[in-house]
Amino acid sequence: MGSSKLINSDFEGLLAESVKIHGHLCPGQVLGVKMSILGLSQIAIEDPKGKDRKSLIVFVEMDRCATDAVQSVTGCSLGHRTMKFMDYGKMAATFVNLKTGKAVRIIAKEEARDKAKKYFPDIEDKYKAQLEAYKIMPDEELFEVMYVRVNIKPEDMPGRPLKRVSCDICGEFVQDMRDVAKDGKTLCKPCALGGYYTIEDESYGK
């Protein structure tokens, strides 16, 4: 694995910036920062918050501390549609260069947890040992690198919505082509498939 050419890729500086956003220092923050530096270097993104900001999309597979670190380093976010959340529950992220099509998936190795203790055997708290070890462990011990291809649909790209329609049942508007065709009707996903919420007061807002 090559070394990163990321502009301002001072690890300690990027970690400090990430911690400021996340609120505390933890092993996940260290992994997320190092994962991002490695991923960006592998797809030749040197300035993710500057000249390369329109060339990058990141898919994160976990809603954990590392995701905040990935957002901090890359500048990608859900609001800008440059970060995509895939609810896989895996400590992994895929970095995509939109200009070249090159993509790399970085996965944190499970065995790195046990190796961390060998680096700092005198630290009894395993999380503190992981925190310090992850800072100095080489990428080869921390991560697996998987070269992948990601086909991003037009409706998933940054920019204005390609489509905006109202649901035939609830009347709420759906954009970015997330509507569902069912029984000849145009529906939102909660009406078609069930949502994460249930309505307790039908009169609210009316």
For residue 3, is it within any domain?
no
Q: What is the pLDDT of residues 34-72, one digit of tens each?
A: 999 999 999 999 999 999 999 999 999 999 999 999 999
Nearest to 162 by CA among 81, 85, 92, 97: 81
The reply to whether 164 and 148 lie within a common domain is no
**pLDDT band at 5; cut points 50, 70, 90:** low
Q: pTM to 2 decimals? A: 0.90
- Looking up residue 99, the CATH number of its domain turns out to be 3.30.1330.130
122 part of a folded domain? yes
Domain that residue 202 falls in: 160-206
Query: What does the CA dihedral 29, 3, 92, 128 come to, rounded to 10 degrees?
Result: -30
Q: Are residues 21 and 115 in the same domain?
A: yes
Residue whose token pair is 């970095």: 95
Vertex 66: Cα angle to 61 and 71 (nearest 5): 85
Across residues 138-166, what is the average pLDDT? 95
